Structure 1
């Protein structure tokens, strides 16, 4: 018997971490989904989950599906206002709303198609709202106020209510319904059977029924509280939970791991109680819910809690070793925490706060310790005294107030001097101070002279005070009277080969110096740092750390980047690295202040920028559970394939080449730390390697070539655990011009063209030989013709040269004649002058003989002048000499007269006005008038020379 009891106790002990996930310390993580997130109505009446992990919500605006990445809405035909949803093992999604019920099933392309069952109901019967759906044995039961509809083997059977149903509940595979006049009835084999002793519920509404030990049933009413039914009679459940329900009204709830019950309320959120009615958690609007009216609650496949609210949806991460004390507990950034004399104290940026500490922890808001307002850097218990390092000084705290100020300077941290246990060194804003343990407690003794910089990171061993500051290690020796530093030595590096200094810390009562995960100790004899290989080996495969400390259990906590990890020490002294659970804290840790307060393995407090985290290391049971990766949809121009809740795999798709743009969406229904879910993918046939991890849940490829492809996807959750690879295959058909039929046609066409070209070449060769003979004959004749033509051209050229020579000769003669004629003209002018002068001679004075001779000479001169035709010859020859000039002038100025042409010729010959007047037989004034008219006709200004203009033509 004792052995049996021992087995039961061991079973309960080991089962508790797995099934007892509801913690009574702090609050679990709460995530709010507002109606703007899912773009639906306010009220959410029912929740269910399929085998793939997708969640479904019966909302005022239809059915909403959530896969962890995206929301999808499926309105119920003719009635968007849905009230209930239930998913069977085959993946059918049964749904009910106002005067409409049926189910969604996936088609061949993975899309949800609605099938109405309500159309099988006689149209004369008013269906009203379908409030509940139950998978009862091998039938699906839809419940409205007036009747229940049993759907089985595509047949619908209707059972009328004795009077009017309220709600129905499936407890221990038995289906119960409340009737307003018949009490609670049980449905089985298509009939209703009243339960004994339940008529007392006729004047109230039952919203929940839950299984209790010893085959009892817990009944939750709207406004009369909780009752226990033993199948004979009902009795009030006089517990904490009952008091809560009576005060706030119940809207049902859900059983949790057969050990806890979630009770929804109208006025104050939810409570989680055990089967004895003891409240374990109370979560309401003040503690993070969007509102206090909870219409439904649901436990998902990872034992997390979902709430359908009067306005919105909330997720509560119950399956986590972490709970939190945040704004609802009245604390902010936490730099340190400690449990002392029944109180939990936390040092924050606003002061020191406290809350009573007992197991189970039932603390509400934290209260400020009187006299500690301001920045509190640290809080420690030293020799039974609670000391706070505050911006206002070193404070001693007792209970709920500060009882003593040891020093008014701001303090960071306190350490006992190992060699002198009655003395404590405190790091303050001006260096270091010494405190002495006296009969009256700690007393401020003195400030240590010789170093006045603020100091945070320091450690003390038997010989030195070590300080890390300004990228240097300070080795400081304190005088025997503890009043000054005898020597201060600095080290910029630990060795000549390793640069930089990461941190200093005390591990296993030894001061270690760390850089890049290599740990060194100091040798006083050799005055050098040497590496501790064993300690370095612990951190060899860890990320580069920048801060660490050791807790009371020997565990080593370390910070890397913005994350936390721990080397957990077991009973044999070996360490196990644990990182995954702390990913939810990434980014919320306080920089440069690693605050981990380990009370025991179940109670570890971690300081955060937004409060305090409580960590129970014994609840690490589901973090090795692999997430699941889903290719949510696969779309290409013209079609989309959905992979929602269908258990079937879609066959390999063939896509036409014109639709070679494909898009994939991903999901991984892991709702804890959903923001840290990451995906990696590879399109075989296109990508050479897996992509980098990314939270982006969509990928698109464009201009893919023809061929076979396989899209592979894996997910990684917030704990660093990777899913199995999921994949789909598809093929892109080649374009018509690269199809195998096209290639066959190309081959036939090439053969035909080759045959045709060969025949054409042979024919061309024969034809070319014929034409070659003809061409040779033609070339011979052409050559002979060219020779004859060349002879003819040569003769013509000779003739032309002769003509040119003759023409040149004639022109030369004309020029010579013009010259001679001008001389004759000059001669005639002289003779005319002589004739005029002879007329002036008085011939009467001459004798007859002289007179005769004189007259004879005069006649001879006159005859010579009158018979001379030089003027006409002159004009003729001038025109011959300047024929080309006169032709160009006439073409350019068609209105020019013959007399003006003559004048232009004389001007071109540079004749004087007098000579031109004599030739043209006009006066000198007439010549000037003619010159003016020419200038006007040629449009010359006064500065332009008329003769120069004529020479340019």
Structure 2
């Protein structure tokens, strides 16, 4: 009964203590779901390679994480993978009825080699391998009934069998310890098991893990907590949390490099205990984990704690200078402002004002009466004022006293350094608070003549500058009692979303996207300041909210890429701008209401939309890291893919011109995303913009040589190295060297042929030109000859005409002579004395019949038409001389009468001759004799 009550009491203490722990800060946590890593929910074991790759034994297979992307390698027999261990380039894994190792090939792909298939003995029925350890050249695989010791050098096995269940194995120094349920704790010596302790506690209770404690052993048991084993004697550990630990159900646990015990539980998340056994923290589903059941715990080389969960994977940045308070239950809400007074931390949120003592484990408490939006907290002369949606409060030791019931107080400030008057900005203008002689604050008046919302305001004597992000900056001249506005002006040239205004060392600063401006009293206007404007670049602008920490003499500005602050060097008093690389996404603050509070010792608190985070700038130490190439993927035009890995130089074909390159930086940091920048010498010779993408694709690259360069950035730190990969893309076949030779030969041959062709062409052209010139000369000569012929013809024609005239004259003379002789003869015919006239008539007859006339005619005719008689003789060789005479006369187109006179015959006889001539010429009836003769 006493034991039951004690256990109940301890469980109650645990629950209470756990509730207080939930209010503590925790390290940043990064969670991965099964969707992120594309595996099953449960993750049984974790290991890390020398390259910083993380390997996880998942229910679906082996998970590999390089800091940028997860890869899944299914288990060799599709069973649950229970264990994983990286040793000297090999990843040893164990699953159901199978164990072996994975090794990367030349293409960057992990290939599996089975070791269990080389055993000389069969595996135990339904055997699963839950743990793997490394001891020099030995790799130890543990199942529930047997331990296999594999010698890497000679590929031999030794086995240790057990009739009872082997719960776990642990490596302490150079010795392997393990437990057999019901028998006790053993160690392996010379390949055999040796009993170390058979204490009833060790026989009856499952051992979670065994740790080294000086020269002794510290054993964590299930249900009994920690025990010390010294010289074979087991004693209860004197750790202060031991009784509490006995109430928990553990699955795994490790001792971290800093000496803390990190214990994974079933249903209670992970518990931190220091070397003395004191509780440090507990992290569970309520404050950051994906799941409360922790199946495996692993510490990587950067001291991050990796948790394999029953549903997902988480890692904790235990060395991070940042700590997080997440209001997962929504009690606090979004933190708009924080302030410290009397060692009490106050948080002003959208749900009210909360407080707790600094560095305590207690929960935040609500300040009664402050439900609703808190806009600002101001510690003025030792008094804490709260500017609230419902009015103005004075806060003291967790109690709120309302001093002004005017709704919507934005901010409060001393009125012109007068400690008895306060100026507050409200939704509807400006108000003055006054402290009475009894020390009680109360509303005195509203400043008449101004009704605009006054979130940001600053005073210079009786001048009030009010910033309104939509209307610009108002300049109000008020009376000496701050009761009414006497003069009003508005500068609309300065306005912008999320603009701000603050008084810094007596100067009024106005900040918006275009930069930071200083108010010049003499000129009564704002002018841009080059020093202050270096706090942010226009493209990095996020919010104009500026915060001046008078105690630290630091001016804070909030940008997209981080938090910048201006401070002065202590020795030289020169201004210097520093940076905290917390991006707006990581800060998770409220835009325009950013806040930062000094906690002392260079520690700061910043409000978020669901709580707050703290940072210790003393712990912000730049970490050295490198970038590596993951793979080079070449996509052919046909769609096939070839993976290149760790190649000195890629040598790609002409159709392998689509290149994808993946790279990674194996750093695991919740608050700092890794960014990458690349360039491709030979194509893009300047660095690209920073991006979170860990792959880049180049499409349709032309042939040539390239060198890919990539570097990474975490926060503001650059990687130590620049990863490079050189490759070349071959020329297309049609412009390859061989083809170029062919092209050259072809060009030469073509040139030779073209030369010959052109030579022949020009030779032909020359010949044609010569021929043309010759023809032109001939033509000219012919033309000349024709002209000569024409002239000759003209001459001949003239001669012909002359001859024809002579012929005609001759013919006419003959005809006239014959006519005369005939007439004379006819005149003599009536004379009766015939004898007397006979001689005369005889002379006349002789003259009429003389051939001399014909010969004369013939000569004249030949002179006029020399070829006719030859042609007609040739055509009609049977013609008689008389026929030729008749033809000659007909050629001259003489009439029958004229012909009769020439022939000294009657016209009738001429007709007869003509008729006979037609017969000889074979003319038809319709043919004209004269026309025929003229055509010859």
Report the TM range for the smaller structure's normalisation: 0.7 to 0.9
Shift of 1:760: 7.0
Structure 1 pair 221–569 and aligned structure 2 pair: CA distance change class (3 A) = farther
Does residue 66 of structure 2 align to residue 64 of structure 1? no
In the other structure, the counterpart of 1:331 is: 332
Shift of 1:689: 2.4
**SS of structure 2 residue aligned to 1:708:** strand
Q: How does 1:94-243 map onto structure 2 within 5 Å?
A: 94-126=92-124, 128-151=127-150, 152-163=152-163, 164-196=165-197, 200-212=201-213, 214-239=214-239, 241-243=241-243
CA contact (8 A) 1:333 1:608 kept: yes
Shift of 1:343: 3.2
CA contact (8 A) 2:22 2:287 kept: no
Deviates more, 1:79-88 or 1:721-730: 721-730
Shift of 1:615: 1.9
Q: Provide the rounded CA distance (Å) in 2 between the counterparts of 1:201 and 1:259.
A: 24
**SS of structure 2 residue aligned to 1:28:** coil
Shift of 1:463: 5.1
- The count of residues paired between Structure 1 and Structure 2 equals 749
Q: How does 1:844-923 map onto structure 2 within 5 Å?
A: none
Shift of 1:285: 0.8
In the other structure, the counterpart of 1:870 is: none
Does residue 648 of structure 2 align to residue 657 of structure 1? no
Structure 1 pair 680–512 and aligned structure 2 pair: CA distance change class (3 A) = closer
Which of 725, 730, 735 is the matching residue for 1:733? 730
Structure 1 pair 585–737 and aligned structure 2 pair: CA distance change class (3 A) = closer
In the other structure, the counterpart of 2:910 is: none
Which ranges in structure 1 are unaligned for 5 or more consecutive residues?
1-21, 644-648, 785-953
Q: Provide the rounded CA distance (Å) in 2 between the counterparts of 1:488 and 1:313.
A: 61
Q: How does 1:468-483 map onto structure 2 within 5 Å?
A: 468-469=467-468, 470-483=470-483
**SS of structure 1 residue aligned to 2:581:** helix
Q: Provide the rounded CA distance (Å) in 2 between the counterparts of 1:537 and 1:735.
A: 52
Which ranges in structure 2 are unaligned for 5 or more consecutive residues?
1-20, 783-936
| 1:181-238 Cα shifts (integer Å, max 9, x gaps) | 44222335434333357563111111223344x4454322222222233454333335
Structure 1 pair 584–629 and aligned structure 2 pair: CA distance change class (3 A) = farther
Shift of 1:719: 4.2
Q: How does 1:655-734 map onto structure 2 within 5 Å?
A: 655-673=652-670, 676-719=673-716, 721-722=718-719, 724-734=721-731
Structure 1 pair 664–674 and aligned structure 2 pair: CA distance change class (3 A) = farther
Q: How does 1:311-350 map onto structure 2 within 5 Å?
A: 311-328=311-328, 330-350=331-351
Structure 1 pair 156–568 and aligned structure 2 pair: CA distance change class (3 A) = farther
TM-score, length of structure 1 as denominator length? 0.71
Structure 1 pair 165–520 and aligned structure 2 pair: CA distance change class (3 A) = same
Q: Provide the rounded CA distance (Å) in 2 between the counterparts of 1:703 and 1:334.
A: 51
In the other structure, the counterpart of 2:38 is: 39
Q: Provide the rounded CA distance (Å) in 2 between the counterparts of 1:769 and 1:542.
A: 76
Structure 1 pair 624–157 and aligned structure 2 pair: CA distance change class (3 A) = closer
Deviates more, 1:369-378 or 1:471-480: 471-480
**SS of structure 2 residue aligned to 1:119:** helix
Structure 1 pair 538–28 and aligned structure 2 pair: CA distance change class (3 A) = closer
Q: Provide the rounded CA distance (Å) in 2 between the counterparts of 1:56 and 1:376.
A: 47
Q: Provide the rounded CA distance (Å) in 2 between the counterparts of 1:461 and 1:440.
A: 26
Shift of 1:160: 0.9
Does residue 569 of structure 2 align to residue 567 of structure 1? no
Deviates more, 1:54-63 or 1:611-620: 611-620
Shift of 1:722: 4.6
Q: Provide the rounded CA distance (Å) in 1 between the counterparts of 2:613 and 2:279.
A: 21
Structure 1 pair 112–514 and aligned structure 2 pair: CA distance change class (3 A) = closer
In the other structure, the counterpart of 1:442 is: 441
Structure 1 pair 231–411 and aligned structure 2 pair: CA distance change class (3 A) = farther
Q: How does 1:387-786 map onto structure 2 within 5 Å?
A: 387-438=385-436, 439-462=438-461, 464-469=463-468, 470-491=470-491, 503-513=500-510, 516-523=514-521, 546-551=544-549, 552-561=551-560, 563-568=562-567, 571-572=570-571, 576-583=576-583, 585-586=585-586, 588-621=588-621, 623-637=622-636, 638-641=640-643, 643=645, 649-673=646-670, 676-719=673-716, 721-722=718-719, 724-753=721-750
Structure 1 pair 597–759 and aligned structure 2 pair: CA distance change class (3 A) = closer
Shift of 1:293: 0.3
CA contact (8 A) 1:339 1:357 kept: no
| 1:449-507 Cα shifts (integer Å, max 9, x gaps) | 3322221111235554332225543444554444334544545569xxx9999643122
Structure 1 pair 527–455 and aligned structure 2 pair: CA distance change class (3 A) = closer
Deviates more, 1:450-459 or 1:669-678: 669-678
Q: Provide the rounded CA distance (Å) in 1 between the counterparts of 2:475 and 2:426.
A: 18
Shift of 1:295: 0.6
**SS of structure 2 residue aligned to 1:281:** strand
CA contact (8 A) 1:197 1:233 kept: no
| 1:888-924 Cα shifts (integer Å, max 9, x gaps) | xxxxxxxxxxxxxxxxxxxxxxxxxxxxxxxxxxxxx
CA contact (8 A) 2:85 2:133 kept: yes
Query: C-alpha root-mean-square deviation of aligned residues, in Å?
Result: 3.8
Structure 1 pair 433–775 and aligned structure 2 pair: CA distance change class (3 A) = closer
CA contact (8 A) 1:708 1:729 kept: yes
Shift of 1:148: 2.1
| 1:556-596 Cα shifts (integer Å, max 9, x gaps) | 21123574322355654555533343226556222222311
Find the structure with the greater CA-based Rg: 2
Q: Provide the rounded CA distance (Å) in 1 between the counterparts of 2:308 and 2:46.
A: 7
In the other structure, the counterpart of 1:255 is: 255
Q: Provide the rounded CA distance (Å) in 1 between the counterparts of 2:277 and 2:604.
A: 27
Structure 1 pair 659–635 and aligned structure 2 pair: CA distance change class (3 A) = closer
Q: How does 1:2-41 map onto structure 2 within 5 Å?
A: 25-41=24-40
**SS of structure 2 residue aligned to 1:741:** helix
CA contact (8 A) 1:208 1:253 kept: yes
CA contact (8 A) 2:498 2:592 kept: no
Q: Provide the rounded CA distance (Å) in 2 between the counterparts of 1:202 and 1:661.
A: 64
Q: Provide the rounded CA distance (Å) in 2 between the counterparts of 1:654 and 1:316.
A: 43
Deviates more, 1:393-402 or 1:425-434: 393-402
In the other structure, the counterpart of 2:266 is: 266
Structure 1 pair 23–618 and aligned structure 2 pair: CA distance change class (3 A) = farther
CA contact (8 A) 1:291 1:311 kept: yes
In the other structure, the counterpart of 2:11 is: none
Structure 1 pair 576–145 and aligned structure 2 pair: CA distance change class (3 A) = farther
Q: Provide the rounded CA distance (Å) in 2 between the counterparts of 1:671 and 1:467.
A: 46
